[in-house]
Amino acid sequence: MPGSRSSCMLITATSENAFHLACSIVRDLVSSWCRNNKLVLNAHKTQSIRFVSRRGGDSDVTLLRLRLDESLTWSCHIRALSKSLSSTVCLLRRLSLSVSGSVLKSVYYALFESQLQYGVLLWGNSGGAARVLKLQKAAVRILGRRAPRTPCRPLFARLGLRTLPALLAEALVVRVRLNEGNFAHQSEVHDHDTRHSGDLVTSRHRLAITQKRSPGYLGVPRCPSTTYPRMSGPFHSDVLKLL
């Protein structure tokens, strides 16, 4: 619909009852704001979810094509993504019987790798990413016109394709590079002149789960100070060469 827009509201609460009460209040405030500005809130598409640090329930919501579950395990998103990628693998298999390798590779970039890159910063380090990698290997074997159990490492190199872990590493390094000013350096933490004084450091949090699932924490250890001097040209192109 022209003029439609998605918005998010982040609510913090100390208990489940307080969370539901806050959701009701915020929903009423947003509805009132929309009416005052001659807008309409689509109640049928309004969703709410409660994020918890422990294992949550089975509820999930969709935001900008990303499926979010209560514990941010990304299992719901992986299932939906795997289903879509499986259909693309079948399409590539049928096309391989009638089109050239260059056309098949273009279809792979357009329909397969584009889905891998979308949101990979968020779900690329989850436990279900291995399932997506298997589907990527199946697609690469089709592009290389090889048997189902053929080793894929030589195929990735010959076709010039990046694996899912490489796509994640690229996205992490580029993100940290573009937001380097938001991180402190080791030289700001102590006054000792060490060889790692230029490395980036992150702030500490109470829960280790924050470090395991945050793109910032995942990317900073991969961006030591020695990474940047080697990159003389356009940063993104140099990252691809390193990978």
- The packing angle between helices 129-143 and 75-95, to 10°, is 10
Same domain flag for 155 and 177: no
Rounded-to-integer distance, Cα 95 and Cα 101, Å: 10
Domain boundary among 103, 128, 161: 161
Same domain flag for 126 and 95: yes
- 8 in a structural domain: yes
Rounded-to-integer distance, Cα 10 and Cα 47, Å: 12
- 166 in a structural domain: no
Cα within 13 Å of Cα(25), Cβ side:
10
SS3 category, 60: strand
Tens of pLDDT, residue by residue over 170-183, are: 888 888 777 777 77
Rounded-to-integer distance, Cα 40 and Cα 173, Å: 40
Backbone angles phi, psi at 64, to 5 degrees: 50, 45
pLDDT tens over the chain, length 243 residues: 445 567 788 888 888 888 889 888 988 898 899 889 888 888 788 888 888 777 666 788 888 888 988 888 888 999 999 999 999 999 999 999 999 999 999 999 999 999 999 999 889 888 899 999 999 999 999 999 999 889 999 999 999 999 999 998 888 888 877 777 777 777 777 777 777 676 777 766 666 666 666 666 665 654 554 444 444 445 556 555 655
Same domain flag for 188 and 148: no
Q: Say which residues have a Cβ less than 8 Å from residue 198's Cβ, sequence separation at least 6.
A: 185, 186, 187, 224, 225
Question: What domain range includes position 123?
Answer: 75-161
- 214 in a structural domain: yes
**Minimal CA–CA distance to 217: which of 121, 133, 127, 130?**
121
The count of structural domains within the chain is 3
- 146 in a structural domain: yes
Amino acid making up residue 7: S
Q: Where are the beta strands (DSSP E) in 125-223?
A: 184-185, 200-201
Domain boundary among 114, 143, 161: 161
